[in-house]
Amino acid sequence: MAKTVQILGRSYLPGQGFNLSGSPKQGKAMIWGQINVSSYPTGGESIVPNDLGLTTIDHAEFFPFAAAALGVTPTAYTAGNAPGVNYRKSANLLEVFSDATTEQTSTNALSISFFAVGDSARDVESLS
């Protein structure tokens, strides 16, 4: 269970943002990139905000790059029965599903693209 996170881009959001409590907060950023998992552990891969270059994740989307990486045939997918990735924020776990309800149990390596928005780890408020 080894992962590497490659940040491909970062864009700071101009203007005032808010933290999860609704208080004004500067230093919001959009970050996108790729997570490579050498062997997916049943139960989920740990992903903390700092892995994505953030101190807090406000919103994140994760997408498996290729259905073949999940060990199933793409033609077997039907509407509502597609592979996907779920991020359980409360547990900081990235869970990969081979269909709508079945968690991936294979140890196959896979790549996941991500897009996340939150408080930047490079924010001046975070560095003090």
Q: What is the pLDDT of residue 74?
A: 44
Give the span between the Cα atoms of 35 and 52, in whole angstroms: 9
Q: DSSP secondary-structure letter at 23? A: -
pTM listed for this prediction:
0.75
Q: Please give the residue range of the domain that contains residue 15.
A: 3-127
Q: Is the pLDDT of residue 41 over 60?
A: yes
Q: What pLDDT digit, counting tens, does each position of 60-101 carry?
A: 998 876 555 555 444 444 545 556 788 888 999 988 877 667
Q: What is the pLDDT of residue 38?
A: 81
Buried b (16+ CB within 10 A) or exposed e, 13-22: eeeebeeeee
Q: What is the pLDDT of residue 124?
A: 61
Give the span between the Cα atoms of 101 and 47, in whole angstroms: 21
Number of domains in the chain: 1
Secondary-structure breakdown of the chain: helix, strand, coil percentages, each rounded to the nearest 5: 10, 45, 40
Collapse the DSSP code of 100 into the 3-class scheme (helix H, G, I; strand E, B; otherwise coil) and give the result: coil
